Amino acid sequence: MTATDPPPRTGHASEHRPPAFFIAGTDTEIGKTFVACALLHALRACGLRAVGMKPVAAGVEADGRNEDVARLAAASAFAAAADLVNPYCFRAAIAPHIAAAEEGRPIVPARIVDAFEALRAQAGAVLVEGVGGFRVPLGDDHDTADLAVALGLPVILVVGLRLGCINHALLTQEAIAARGLPLAGWVANRIDPEMARSAENIAALRARIAAPLLGVVEHGTTPEAAARQLTLPSGLAPAPSSAPVPPR
């Protein structure tokens, strides 16, 4: 984080602001968007006006939209302005700092923080999905970990269950702690249905990750069904007086 970046936000409930969390992953293509959508459905089911945010996305479809951004929008309780939900979208599905350089559009953390705060003012809860793993470069001198610090959000870690996941999860946990961010919980996502000894791997992770397991998402399910397999972390439970959010 540079000297010109805004000070970190704490996101604590004591500030009387809607809860918000940063969704990080142990790697790319391990189901961050899927889990974020499942959590959005869980939040909506218990009455919160929840919205998803993807600050940086790379890769667009023929219709000009990014698939992850579209999925988060579909799972959200309301349709927020596109420039708030996704301040930076690059055409090529490549590392974002490379895409940003090729398009001549540097990623400015302050712009993302401003968009997040504007979105939070409209919502009952915000889930901010990172890009790739936790330390993906966003420019020459900042990465997604710096973005999480600038936003000041607790982290929910998505662990893709496949060979090597224990090492990736523990290294990511160390990186989150090194940035002074709380790990609110983690989700085990069965991305490899043929993974050997998956139960033993989950047990090893539970013994080593200093945060609650929020749930195990089964392979081949839908975000709506996965929502019923998850427990919401502390800070995302709705107030008893929260009014139900009508279906979109």
Percent helix / strand / coil, the chain, rounded to 5:
35, 15, 50
CA torsion sign for 115, 119, 125, 131 is: negative
139 is written with which tokens? 């420019």
32 noted as active-site residue: no
Of the candidates 9, 41, 44, 54, the residue annotated as catalytic is: 54
Cβ contacts of 47 within 8 Å, gap of 6 or more: 238, 242, 243, 244, 245
Cβ proximity of 155 and 128 under 8 Å: no
DSSP state of 91: S
Q: How far apart are CA 150 and CA 115, in angstroms?
A: 12
Cβ proximity of 35 and 23 under 8 Å: yes
CA distances (Å), 34 to each of 2, 26, 139, 210, 243, in order? Answer: 32, 14, 26, 23, 26
Q: How far apart are CA 163 and CA 138, in angstroms?
A: 27
Residues with active-site annotation: 54
